[in-house]
Structure 1
Amino acid sequence: MAVSNVLKLSLLVSLLSGLWPAEKTQHNKSLGIFPPTCNRIECPSFEVVDVGNGYEIRRYNSTMWASTSAIQDISLVDATRTGFLQLFDYIQGKNYYKEKIEMTAPVITEVSPSDGPFCESSFLVSFYVPKKNQANPAPAKGLQIQKWKPTYVAVRQFGGFVSDYEIGEEAAALQASIVGTVWSDAIEKSHGKDRTTVYTVAQYNSPFEFDNRVNEIWLRFDLEE
């Protein structure tokens, strides 16, 4: 079997593992756990601005991301799998530069939740462009290159394999932990009071790491400086 096919298979296993039962999840009791994957592959750098009860505030510098078009689905796991396959082809050279690109972490999925329990949500799956490619990211059909300006992110960490069953609960827990803090006004201003909050799921680990898995919920927001 070709190396690229082996890699694709292993990454598919990772995404499929999100379908495992929620009871297999082991939650981290505190923040500040450095994702082990970032010791081996490149991750975007950030500054920790504040750590509170169940949340962390980070500031990320301006970065470039390769993103899918919006994917409509009822399942975050399924949508992430669909989007990641597009991004995997992209880094394997299916881009206009025919350039192979190093794998990075995390793979993130932005979630625009639906208004009802059986309605499709909108998902945007993105790959952090490595530093060596940031100045001139390869364009590709069906993908968009997004430039993030310096941004603030409220973060909640959790362990195990990401599943549809619990992801909404983790997002709600992060939002609840921010209420009444000095950050709540900035987050509310960015996301608005009267609509469902958009959040992001960040996945770091390889499918072969069963212990000390680190996933994150992100709430991105602007802060006037």
Structure 2
Amino acid sequence: MGTRSRRARVRAFVDGYPPRAALADAWDEHSRFVGFAAGLFGLGVLIGVLLYAAGYNLLEIIADLLGESLFPENIGEMGGLELAQFLLVNNSRAFLLSILGALTLGLLTAWAMLFNGVIVGNVGAVVTETVGFDYILVGLLPHGIFELPALFIAAGVGFRLLYRFGQRIFGARDAIVTKSYLYRTAILVLVGWSLLVVAAFVEAFVTPALLEALFAERLEGMSGVP
């Protein structure tokens, strides 16, 4: 009876607050924080480009410091499904980290946005100089239009949670989280993670095919091109 009662209450709550309306409210609540995350990423991209202009190839520097590359050596040998799984697992970690970064007063979330932006900007500058801007555009855009918004959403959720915590501390809010907040935010997080799933499969199957079809002749005879 208790289980049925809980199910009835859940059903009544969802019926009174449909997922589409909850998602719209979640976006209204988080959009400026998502924009802030995107701004941090953009700043990171600019820093990465400037670092390369100053003569710093971050992938080489990080590889020297760690004694290994940021990417597995066998990544080029992975099959499509294996690569998609690898990408999804790694991006899901970054996704979750950006949300839980609220527990570090947002510092970890901000660092994740800046660091990823710096790496993208720096690597993009390297590849642009080596192969061309059109190569990096084709290499990033198809999956990036899904992956980046997903990561920005996760960071936006982290920043918004921190903001609500601050409101509670200063007495502007009675509770950090409420049932309706958790419900609508969970829907937004699910939508964001779904974008990561799409991005992983696009990067594993579509992006390599496009690069091969459009740049095979240009890449012929070149070595060390990401």
Query: Which is greater in Rg?
Result: 2
Higher helix share: 2
Same fold (TM over 0.5): no
Q: Shorter-chain TM-score category?
A: under 0.3
Higher strand share: 1
Normalised TM-score (structure 1) = 0.25
